[in-house]
Each structure stands twice: as structure tokens, then as C-alpha cells.
Amino acid sequence: MKNGIDIRSEIKKCIQEAGYTLRGFSKASGIFESHLSMVLNNYLMRPLGMTHLDRINQTLGKPEGCFYDLYVDECFISGKPHRSRVKPFMLRCAELGKQKEINQVLSRMMDDLDKLPLVFEIAEEIYAGGNPQGAVPFYECVAENERHQHDENLAISQYRLFRTALGKDNDANLKAVIRFEPYRNRVPENYQLDGLLQMINVYFNLGMWKEVEFFSEELCNLSETLYRLDLHKRLKSKKYEPLQTERHLVVYYGYSSLMPSVSLENQGKYQKALDLIANYADLSWFENLGEVGEKEVAKFTMWAEANRYTLHLLLG
């Protein structure tokens, strides 16, 4: 409760130092004078919201987030985390990179694990807003504190952490794959496809050929199953909604044959690699390709021709 008072004392001091009366500051900030008076003088009657805090901050000409270190207690003014203050505060902290405040709030929220769904909700909103790195502390919080290992939020958090961790460091990428691998079948099917594709890429870059072939087969089975299911839904459902994936479904199916073929080539197993090319050389049979799918099919045909030519040369 101490900071709940301190933030108001600090704001009132800054207002006075800037030469404002309460009425003058009300006009400058656009906050009703009665509302401003209640916010600054009676924190139990009128909690301080993020919108007003940022407006006060802007009117005073302070750096963004100037009062955020004092705002943490405002999120727990009733003793428990208050959703209407925690969520907007965490979103702004993520936007401004206020890691200390994020850690303080998350630590206190974990006194009640029933708040984990709110943490996940905040993480997803930050991620969807184009700030995946900003969402990492929230996904880590879910990953570290969720006790139900088959919880979907936990699996999605592990998937997001996996995707965010991928970069140019192969060793770090391998650690990310190993961490995500147990959760790969627990995420929604569209994430399973993209997760497997990324895992195969990591193993390929590391020359771990057995893993490339193993997970390529898994990707093949999954993409084929989802393709058949997609066809069935199109025929049976008037309210059909296609599976939302990062790439066209034909990409996952084609990739599941392309990568083991290239893997076999790298191991000197040229004939086996050549035999697999037929599996991705002509994917025009794939239904509902559309313009995007047709372009992807053309790419696989081109790769097949180039790889076939190379393998014939290697075979003599």
C-alpha cells in the first residue's frame, strides 16, 4: 500500500513544481478536476488507471513510464492483482521494455496460480502485436508455473518460446528444439506443422540426419492427415473454415519429402535420395491450391529438377 500513496505524493509534488494548480492541470491534461482530485487524494475510492497515468506523465513532460516503478502496488491495491490495471500496465511495460516492473508484477501474481490464464492472455496480445521478445517473460512465467503438463496454454507458451529463440546460433537453436520437442504434439495442429518444419530446419543445419528423417516422416503423416481432413470438411460443412497455417498446406507435405531426400544426399546415399524426389516433383494433384499453392508447387518442381540433375551427376 505504501507505493499506492507514494505515487500520488510524487505526482502532486511534480504538479506543484511545474507551477500548476489542480484546476490548471485539469485543463492541461484533459482530466476532469473532480476526477483528478479523487484519484490523487483518495486511492481507495478512485484507483489510478493507466490512461490517466500516461496523460499525467505526458502533461508534465516526463519521460515515458516515469512513474511506472511506483505503479506496481497500484495493480494490487486491494491485495490481489486487479485485471483492469494489471493488463494495460503490463502491455505498456512490454512496449517500453520495463523489465523490472514486469518481473515485480509477475512475481506477485504467482502468489495465486489461478492468474496464469491472464498472464498467457497478456503474452498472446503482446506477441500478436508484433513484439515477440516482449512476450517472452510472460510465456516463461506460464512455462515455469503451470503445473498441468498437458495444459494447452503451457504447450503454446513453449511453442512461442521456441520460435522466438531461433536465430543464427546453432547451439542455442538446438537447446530450443530440445526444450520444445516434448510439447510438439500438444499444441494446436497448425502450430504442430510449423513447429515440426522449424525443428527439421534446425536439425538439418546441424547435420543431424537421423532427426531430419524422423521428424520429416512425422511432418508427412501430419500434413497428409490434415489434408484429408480439410477435404472432408470442405465437402461436409457449409461453414467450413480452413486451418490457419503460416504456409500453404502443400508446403509442409512437400517439405516432408524434400528434406529427407537432401539429407540422404548429404550422407552419400544418392540412389535413395533420388527415389524420394518423385514424392515432391509434381504436387499439382493437391486440391484447392489457389494462386499461392500453385506457386509453391512450382518451387518444388524446380527443386526436384535441380536435385535430380545433381544426383544423376553424383551417381555417374
In this predicted model, what pLDDT tens digit does every residue of 79-91 receive, in sequence order? Answer: 888 898 999 999 9
244 conformational bin, left if phi > 0, alpha if psi -120 to 50, beta if neither: beta
Give the predicted TM-score (pTM) of the model: 0.89
Enumerate residues 6+ apart whose C-beta is below 8 A from 293.
248, 249, 250, 286
For residue 80, give the H/E element and its range: none
**HSE-up of 204 (CA within 13 Å, CB side)?**
20
Q: State residue 1's pLDDT score.
A: 43
SS3 of 114, please? helix
CATH number, domain 188-316: 1.25.40
pLDDT tens, position by position, 168-193: 999 999 999 999 999 999 999 999 99
Beta strands in 68-107 (DSSP E): none
User: Would you tell me how many other CB atoms lie within 10 Å of the CB of residue 240?
Assistant: 11
Q: State residue 45's pLDDT score.
A: 57
Q: State residue 237's pLDDT score.
A: 75
Grid coordinates in use for 42?
A: 483518495
For residue 115, give the H/E element and its range: none
Q: State residue 2's pLDDT score.
A: 47
Burial of 40 (C-beta count, 10 Å sphere; 0-12/13-18/19+): buried
Q: Which residues of the chain have pLDDT under 50?
A: 1-4
pLDDT tens, position by position, 6-59: 888 899 999 999 999 999 999 999 999 888 888 888 765 577 889 999 999 999
Q: Which residues of 203-233 are buried (b: 16+ CB within 10 A; e: fewer)?
A: bbeeebbebbbebbebbbebbeebbeebeee
**Of 310, 259, 250, whose CA–CA distance to 282 is shortest?**
250
Cα separation of 152 and 37, whole Å?
45
Grid coordinates in use for 227?
A: 489434408
Domain 1-65 - what CATH class? Answer: mainly alpha
Cα separation of 241 and 52, whole Å?
41
Grid coordinates in use for 284?
A: 499439382
**HSE-up of 241 (CA within 13 Å, CB side)?**
3
